[in-house]
A = this chain, B = another copy of it.
C-alpha cells in the first residue's frame, strides 16, 4: 500500500508571532481555501493512500486536534530531524505492510495547484514501487532563490524522469542565477518517495547508528513495546536530515519535477506570493485599513483590525498576545527578533 508520510516536527520561527511553540507553522491557516497547511497536506496525501503524520510528543495534541481521524499519528519522543522521522515511519509501515511505499511530505508548504502535485507524486510512487528506487519530487525554480537547496539533474531516461547528480547547498546569488538559467537544477522541497524497505536499507547502510535504533524499535512492534523502545533509544540519535544522511549518498536517486504553485512560506513576505492582493495589499484574518500605505501585508486574528498609515511595504502581524511590525524586505529578520525575545526573558511569547 502507498502512504503519505507527513513530517510535522519542526519548530520554525520565521512566521512568529502567528507560529508559536504551541501552534507550529503547519497549523497556520495558509493553505488553499483557508485550511491549515497541515490539513491541506493531509488532504493531498489522502489522495495517494494512507496518511501518517510523524510529529514530536510536545506537538502531538495540537496535531491530533487539527487532523482528527484523517491521519494516523506517529509520535517521536523527541524531535531528531528528518532521517529519524522518516526511519520511524518506515519501520512502522514496513511492519504493517512489507510492500509499503512511502511519499515523504513536509507539513508546512503551500501548494496552489494540488492536482499537478498529486499527479507527480503518483508518478514518483509508481516508479519507486516498480523499480525499488528513491525518487525526489523537485520544484522547477521560478527565481534565483538563495535560501533553498538545489538538485542538480543528471541523465534523462526518455520518460521525463531524470537522475539526480548531486545536491547543492544554498548557493550565492550569482551561482543561483546561473543554475536557474541553465534549466538543469530543481529546488529541493524535501519531497521523497521510496518503498519503506528501501528507505530502511539505505538508512542501515549510510547511517548505521540510526539503523540499529530503528531495527530495535521495529523488533519491538510485534510485542507492543515499540514506543517504550523509542523513548529509550531515540534521544541518543544524532539530529541528521534525511537529505544529508541518505539521499545525498544514494547513487541512483531519480526525480520528477513540476512547479505546482509550490511555496515554502519561509517568511511573511512570501504571503504576497500565495494570497491574492486587494488594492495591492495582502491580508489574512481581520480587516485592514491602509492610508497612504502601499503594499501592506497584514495578518491578524479574525476579529482584529489592522490600520497602517504612511508606511509602504510593511508587514504587520497580530496574533494573540503579540504584534510584529517589519518591512517586507526584512522579513527574514523575524528569526533574529525571536532570538532577541528569548534573550530578553520573554520566551513565554514564543
Contact = CB atoms under 8 A, between A and B. Distances in A.
A300 B349 CA distance: 14
Contacts of A324: 307-309
A316 B307 contact: no
A322 B341 contact: no
A341 B310 contact: no
A334 interface: yes
A14 B141 CA distance: 48
Interface in A132-180: none
Contact of A305 (B310, B322, B330, B333): B322
A291 interface: yes
A190 interface: no
Given A305-B323, A318-B318, A321-B305, A341 B311 contact: no
A311 B305 CA distance: 21
Contacts of A289: 337, 340-341, 344, 346
Among A300, A305, A325, A349, the one with the most B-chain Cβ atoms within 10 Å of its Cβ is A325
Q: Please indicate which of the listed interface residues A300, A330, A337 has the most CB atoms of chain B within 10 Å of its own CB.
A: A337
Contacts of A311: 311, 314, 325-327
A76 B126 CA distance: 79
B291 A303 contact: no
A298 to B, nearest CB: 9
A291 B324 CA distance: 11
A323 B323 contact: yes
Nearest to A336: B291
Contacts of A318: 318, 323
Q: Quick one: copies of this chain in the complex?
A: 2
Given A289-B341, A341-B289, A346-B287, A304 B325 contact: no
Given A292-B333, A333-B292, A307 B287 contact: no
B322 A325 contact: no
A308 B326 contact: yes
Contacts of A337: 289, 291, 307, 309
A311 B326 CA distance: 7
B309 A323 contact: no
A17 interface: yes
A216 interface: no
Interface string A285-307: 01101011000000011011111
| A-B CB proximity, top 7 nearest | A309-B326, A310-B330, A305-B322, A305-B349, A307-B324, A304-B321, A318-B323
Given A17-B305, A304-B323, 11 more contacts: A307-B322, A307-B324, A307-B326, A307-B337, A307-B341, A308-B326, A309-B324, A309-B327, A309-B330, A309-B336, A325-B325
Interface of A: 17, 286-287, 289, 291-292, 300-301, 303-311, 314, 316, 318, 321-327, 330, 333-334, 336-337, 340-341, 344, 346, 349
